Amino acid sequence: MNIYMDIPSPAVKQAGQTAALYGIQNHGLNNLRNVYWNLPSCALYEEAVFRGEGIIGHDGPFGPQLGMTPFNDVRFGLLGGSIVDANALLRAYIWHCVAIPIIASLFMVVHFWRVRKDGGISGPSPVMLESEIKEPRKI
């Protein structure tokens, strides 16, 4: 229930379905008004917004603290722009045709250099036939 009004919480129905048999009082928590546990994530979001405990935004949980805007987040890099238009398509095309192959080539160059520097790839251990095995000399 909301503290200020007698409006039933949206999670009451699901809370009754998901309540555990071993009550919360057995965990040492007493004198609690409404406790909902084992709720699915959609019910948790709904309850948090209903109670005014959480504000869900499109920037994520730490968007304002990290200074997230539509121009400096992951969507800008994936879409090629904050909105999909001709410029964003051009950026995405250049990214896929030029930048990704250059980055992949650099990784391959470093890989080939390390293989040569380390003496080649490791091969299987040498196999010797019984006829090739020589007994050690006794001195």
- Residue 126, domain member (yes or no): no
- Residue 96, domain member (yes or no): yes
Which of 33-47, 85-99, 102-116 is most confident? Answer: 102-116
88 shares a domain with 37: no
| The one-letter amino acid at 68 | M
Q: Domain limits at 19?
A: 1-56
Question: Residues 103-111: what's their mean pLDDT?
Answer: 96
* CA pair distance 109, 87, nearest whole angstrom: 32
- Residue 41, domain member (yes or no): yes
47 shares a domain with 6: yes
* CA pair distance 88, 78, nearest whole angstrom: 10
- What confidence score (pLDDT) does residue 81 get? 72
- Residue 131, domain member (yes or no): no
- Residue 137, domain member (yes or no): no
82 shares a domain with 51: no
Sign of CA dihedral 16, 18, 20, 21: positive
For residue 54, what are the contacts with CB-CB under 8 A and spacing of at least 6?
45, 48
List the structure tokens of 58: 């499109």
113 shares a domain with 82: yes
* CA pair distance 81, 70, nearest whole angstrom: 9
What mean pLDDT is reported for the chain? 75
91 shares a domain with 42: no
- Residue 23, domain member (yes or no): yes
45 shares a domain with 78: no
Domain tally for the chain? 2
- What confidence score (pLDDT) does residue 105 get? 97
Residue 1 pLDDT greater than 50, yes or no: no
pLDDT in tens, 52-79: 776 656 666 666 676 666 666 666 766 7
Local structure of 15: helix, strand or coil? helix
Confidence class for position 123, pLDDT limits 50, 70, 90: low
pLDDT in tens, 5-32: 567 777 777 776 766 777 777 777 777 7
Whole-structure pTM value: 0.36
| The one-letter amino acid at 32 | L
